[in-house]
Amino acid sequence: MNLRDILSPLYVWKRAFEKPYTMNTLKDGRPGAPNYRGFHQNDIDKCIGCGTCAEICQNVSIDMVPIKPTRDGDSGLRPRIDYGRCCWCALCVDICPTGSLTMSNAYTWVEEGLDLDVRETFCYIPGHDPKPWDDEPLGYRRPQDYELLHLDRTPMPQLPPEQRISSFIEMVKGYSRELALKEADRCIQCGICTATCPAHMNIPAYIKAIREDNIAEGLMILYETNPLPGICGRICTRRCEDVCALSHRGEAISIRWLKRYLTDCVEAVDYQNILQKEISLNGKKISVIGSGPGGLSAAYYLSRMGYQVDVYEQNKAAGGMLRYGIPEYRLPYDMLDKDIEYILSQGVKLHLETRVGQEISFDEIYKGSDAIFISTGLFEPYRIGVKGDEIAGVISGLELLADVTNGVEVILGKSVLVIGGGNVAMDAARTARRLGSEVKVIYRRRLEDMPADHEEITEAMEEDVEFVFQAIPLEIEKTGDNRLRLIYGLAEMVDQGDGKRPQPILIEGSRIEIIADTIIAAIGQGMNFKWMDGEASANIKFGKWNIEADRYGCTTDKKVFIGGDMFNRTADAISAIADGHRSARAIDSLLK
């Protein structure tokens, strides 16, 4: 010890002349840093209630509570956060698929109500329960270049367009195991898709099965709600993907292709081993009219429930629109047969080329069955409705597709016009393209108004199908050299007000001519139920365009159920499958 050691500490006085470190937070406040992780904010309209925030929260501090009506793509639930548990790790913000959940930079929360239950004072629903920091622009946001989700879809291997148009070979090659696992890994298992799927397929569960490489389990999950998974895995309208939580900031999971992967992994002969279930017949008999997706679905579930099912089909093979309305390059016949044959193997009796009303009467079926499920679909194509639409060379899209399926030689000529903008129009156009014609699609509205699947439109464009938009057909006439002349007028789109589709209105005086060899009308199709006659139809209430039925498809005659395109407005395979399943359950509870 020396003198320096005694004097040196006096240095401490130097600080006495410095500005104090402390600040008066009561007077001046001390805002949090710009990206401070404070209390949560939620853009309640952007949020879809997928619950991924609750899923990743390790403290279980988030629960999902109903505050909005449920709709497609929105569970109606919103996160409620318990600040007695929250640790402010912000993983919920990082993983939020829509990016609606953020954090304010608020440090403190002062609330009256010490006498209240802590569950009322410690918890709130961000964005719903008003808080002072709701409009706070600062606070934690998911940092740039940091992403927990995988927003990009695993690309599906496909044939290049130039190869596609040379044959009817299936253009989509299907995922390999590696690609499927990669795609399945992206799923966050929120289940928003399940709610939107008409058949309510347990999509998160079968994607999980793929991820865990448990193909058998996956197939069983598929068959719980959909007996045509190989078909849906190819041609489903996949409304599940439209609402996929990942589609908000990135690309939806390829749910359809994953379903296809599952069915492609299993050979037809192994289906029975995986899905086997003892069926004990209950002696009751059900007739199904129409062997499209609706009829097949009903037949499958009813036969599994122990009913003797008879299916009546007017064509040479089962499948309905699946077979006669969807071209082979999208749905190869062997894949169609794989699913249908498994259904038939459940003891379903199929009566082919049996048109009800001709080979067998509706009365006879009615008397011989405990219940009837009718799903005959829309098979009467609408005419274009202009002068000359009956001239030879003007055919319907469905006619073309059915002829190709049936192996009838079709001669379309060099140039083909397709009128319409739906999926049938796209299928017809692309089929014509494969038959060697040059194709133009004539559509009344704009590209963005087309009801056809966006993917089909893109693929048609890749295959050099030309599009003429805002064109209203006016007249068809024969030219001197035995070709066809379509005269169309231009349309302008007129706004119809809130939520309504803009209407194309003809611009007076506009008149354009176009020469073609064949004109294909694909503007929709209607129902035909004239064959339902006799005593059996006495109790069924027919409308002008429809048959009256309750939500289970049960008509005014308790024994008769309808489904498929006759019943639902969406007119796609998966809705028909859902109808079949739903009516099967309704029939079962009726007959029990």
Q: Which residues bind another protein (CB under 8 A)?
A: 1, 4-6, 8-9, 11-12, 14-15, 21-22, 32-37, 52, 55-56, 58-59, 87-91, 94-95, 103, 140, 143-150, 185-189, 211
Q: Could you give the CA distance from residue 491 to residue 336 in angstroms, rounded to a whole number?
A: 40
The Cα 431–Cα 398 span in angstroms is: 11
Task: Give the residues across from 349 on adjacent strands.
Answer: 310
Helix H or strand E segment including 81: strand 77-82
**With respect to another protein, which residue has the nearer C-beta, 144 or 589?**
144
Q: Would you say 186 or 433 has its CB closer to another protein?
A: 186
Rounded to a whole number of angstroms, the distance between the first and last alpha carbons of the chain is: 102
Closest distance between another protein and the C-beta of residue 185, in Å? 5
* CB closer to another protein, 48 vs 103: 103
* Six-digit token string for 106: 């608020």
**CA distance linking residue 261 with residue 113, whole number of Å:** 56
Least Cβ distance, residue 547 to another protein (angstroms): 46
What's the min distance (Å) between Cβ of 156 and another protein? 19
CB of 266 to another protein, least distance (A): 23
The residue (of 21 and 545) whose beta carbon lies closer to another protein is 21
* Residue whose CB is less far from another protein, 95 or 343: 95
Least CB distance to another protein at residue 24 (A): 15
For residue 208, the minimal CB distance to another protein (Å) is 8
Instruction: Give me the DSSP letters along 159-218.
Output: --HHHHTT--S-SB----HHHHHHHHHH-----HHHHHSTT---HHHHHHHHHTT-HHHH
- Residue closer to another protein by CB (options 117, 178) is 178
The residues, any chain, with a CB within 8 Å of residue 453's CB and separated by 6 or more, are 237, 423, 426
Q: Supply the minimum distance, in Å, between the C-beta of residue 526 and another protein.
A: 46
65: nearest Cα among 104, 120, 102, 133: 120
Query: What is the closest distance, in whole angstroms, from the C-beta atom of residue 13 to another protein in the complex?
Result: 10
Distance of alpha carbon 275 from alpha carbon 438, whole angstroms:
46
Residue 320's region, left for phi above 0, alpha for psi from -120 to 50, else beta, is: left
How far is 377 from 395, CA to CA, in rounded Å? 20
Instruction: Give Cβ neighbours of residue 257 (< 8 Å, ≥ 6 apart).
Output: 156, 172, 174, 175, 180, 183, 233
Closer to another protein by CB, 258 or 348: give it: 258
Cβ distance to another protein smaller for residue 145 or 390: 145
The closest of 330, 360, 237, 337 to 291, measured between CA atoms, is: 337
Q: Which is closer to another protein, CB of 44 or CB of 149?
A: 149
Please, what is the Cα angle at 436 between 430 and 439, to 5 degrees?
50
In the complex, minimum distance from the CB of residue 182 to another protein, in angstroms, rounded to a whole number: 9
